[in-house]
Amino acid sequence: MKFKDLLGLSISNLKRRKLRTFLTVLGVIIGTASIIVMVSLGIGQSELQMELISASSSLTTVSVYGGSSGMYYSGSSQSGQSEEPLYITDEVMEQFASLPHVTGASPMLNYYVIAKQGAYENNFNLVGVSHEYMENIPLGEGSVPKAGDKQLSLIYGNMIQRDFSNAKTGEGYWSTGEEPDVDLVNRPVFIIFDPDRYYQSQNQNQSAQDMTGAESGETVQPVTPPKKYIIPTAGIVEGGPEDWNQYSYSVYCDVDALKSQLKTVFRKDPIPGQPTNKKGKPLSYFVYDQAEVYVDDMDNVKEVQDMITSMGFQAMSNVEWVESSQKQMQAQQAVLGGIGAVSLLVAAIGIANTMMMSIYERTKEIGVMKVLGCDMDNIRDMFLLESGFIGLMGGVLGVLCSYLISRIINALYLRQQMQEAAMYGTVMGDISRIPLWLVGIALVFAVLVGMLAGFFPAKRAMKLSALSAIRNE
């Protein structure tokens, strides 16, 4: 018998009991939709989690710290010859960059400065990073300084402006509720690269006023206030003063420009924050307290991290966090999928029941077909096709239904998210996500369940006696 004819027979059989077929298909629709929706919730949740992780920091980035006292201790005791602590230098940066799977490395030179504009001042860490690093910062205004630009220019985080406070009263946005009168883009910003001396000179002025000539015997070398530099603004990080992201509270600049700027500011004097050798003299090179190493793929992060650790540095990444949260999410997904699978199981029982009913009803017909020489395998295949078809229809309609349900869930979730986001910043996104592979698996599964449920009824139909055709009712 030709497959096309078999298919035609099966479909005409399904058509003749439309309501029953529909009800059975409905069972499969519910089963399929519940599996898809449940799994999509699991996927959505774990992807949201991943987005949250990657919003706070990159998943393929390894942060490296060096030069700490702990490292100094272990470094000297292990090697026994390294007198100096393990610093992250330009040389080390090159080593990092040449590691396998590493696509790039950026030093992070943190330098504490004071910024002034008018009556307002602010202090923050200036972070000197590579040009590549800056290019990944999403900018709302301005542009990243050109590579190799010797002139220092700054990229401000979008929350920096609100952090400025009045130098005299010490009051800022957080106490007064008023936006500080600061314009980082259009008005010049003065940067003080030697905050210690600045504070010393401030204190000195005050103490000088307090005790004018009271103790003239002591000759205090007056501290001259440090020079202020006008540093141009290159850009502002994307987002308003309330949209938090990982760049919001920092100020970035090109590391080479920062180094040359610091050299011109301090000349031969030691630069604050930079280590000195045993004699207290400044080193001839810069030492970075932190660096970021970029890895090509998430799967290789652990390997790179281990390599850097074995070089003697402290390396941190999100891998452990991601792994543990992924494990947790997988368990959650299995539970959700299991709940969905139960309803598909019920649908399978429905299919089996329908097929059994159908066979009882058509006992005589099957007998006639057998008397007229219909192959037994064909009879079995006909019933298998019917139940498989029920599965397929239920699967297709179930997929459509689950898209609908998923949309509704997402719409509801979005409203809740908006409320949460208004209170504290959160990552926005769909909670129910249906990837294409899930649709494919669900369809295959539905057809398979249909055919499996129809298997025993079909075998039974195949074995029905041809004699039933002869009996007259």
Q: Which residues bind another protein (CB under 8 A)?
A: 1-2, 5, 12-13, 15-16, 364-365, 368-376, 378, 465-467, 469-473
3-state SS assignment for residue 465: coil
**Nearest CB to another protein, comparing residues 259 and 362:** 362
At its nearest, how many Å lie between another protein and the CB of residue 16?
Answer: 6
How far apart CA 257 and CA 259 sit, in angstroms, is 5
Kindly state the tokens that stand for 23.
């009800």
Parallel, antiparallel or unpaired: strands 139-142 and 120-129 = unpaired
At its nearest, how many Å lie between another protein and the CB of residue 467?
Answer: 5
**Nearest CB to another protein, comparing residues 316 and 376:** 376
At its nearest, how many Å lie between another protein and the CB of residue 470?
Answer: 6
**Nearest CB to another protein, comparing residues 11 and 418:** 11
At its nearest, how many Å lie between another protein and the CB of residue 377?
Answer: 8
How far apart CA 220 and CA 393 sit, in angstroms, is 93
**Nearest CB to another protein, comparing residues 227 and 463:** 463
At its nearest, how many Å lie between another protein and the CB of residue 456?
Answer: 19
Q: Are 56 and 246 in contact (CB under 8 A)?
A: yes
Q: Are 242 and 425 in contact (CB under 8 A)?
A: yes
Token pair 């501290």 in the structure block, residue: 223
**Nearest CB to another protein, comparing residues 14 and 25:** 14
At its nearest, how many Å lie between another protein and the CB of residue 463?
Answer: 8
Question: Of 335, 380, 294, 408, nearest to 60 (Cα)?
Answer: 294
**Nearest CB to another protein, comparing residues 17 and 302:** 17
Burial class (CB in 10 A: 0-12, 13-18, 19+), 219: exposed
- 18 contacts: CB under 8 Å, gap ≥ 6: none
**Nearest CB to another protein, comparing residues 220 and 372:** 372
At its nearest, how many Å lie between another protein and the CB of residue 23?
Answer: 20
**Nearest CB to another protein, comparing residues 15 and 279:** 15
Tell me the H-state helices in 179-318: 195-210, 255-266, 301-310
* DSSP secondary structure, 200-238, as one string: HHHHHHHHHHHTTTTTTTS---PPPPPPEEE--EEEEES
**Nearest CB to another protein, comparing residues 16 and 263:** 16
At its nearest, how many Å lie between another protein and the CB of residue 405?
Answer: 36
How far apart CA 36 and CA 149 sit, in angstroms, is 54
Neighbouring C-beta atoms of residue 293, cutoff 10 Å: 27
At its nearest, how many Å lie between another protein and the CB of residue 22?
Answer: 18
Question: Of 22, 20, 32, 11, nearest to 446 (Cα)?
Answer: 32
Neighbouring C-beta atoms of residue 352, cutoff 10 Å: 19
**DSSP letter (8 states) at residue 145:** P
